[in-house]
Amino acid sequence: MDDGNGSFLRFAIEELDDLRKKYPKSKGVFRVGEELEIRGSKFRVKEISPFGIKLKLLIWAANRIQEGEKAIAELERLKESRSEALRISSEILEQAEQERLDAE
């Protein structure tokens, strides 16, 4: 349950039963609009009903940062590959030029 300070509190089953008895009209331990993190993914509670909780998946900054870091690493790899290809091409051209001069 949200403690109101951005953290979750854990309840023992007995404590939950006591809370359910104390607040019979409560819709549960979550609130609409509350953000949850489950297995590394963030969700926002959209609706609470007797049938369950509807969650909306949130794309959050950490995922975006991780995707950006992967893209940057791939660009660096491609840049290194391009530099290596240019170096090899230059060597081949120099070798061909030297062979041409030697043939003359």
pLDDT per residue as tens digits for the range 40-81: 778 888 988 877 788 888 876 666 777 788 888 898 988 888
Per-residue pLDDT tens over the stretch 11-39: 666 776 777 787 777 656 778 888 888 87
CA–CA separation, 76 and 74 (whole Å): 5
Q: How far is CA 84 from CA 16, 24, 93, in A?
A: 63, 70, 14
Domain count, the chain: 1
Those residues whose C-beta lies under 8 Å from the C-beta of residue 79, and which sit 6 or more positions away, are: none
Contact 31, 37 (CB under 8 A): no
Has residue 47 been placed in a domain?
A: yes
Has residue 2 been placed in a domain?
A: no
pTM over 0.75: no
Has residue 73 been placed in a domain?
A: no
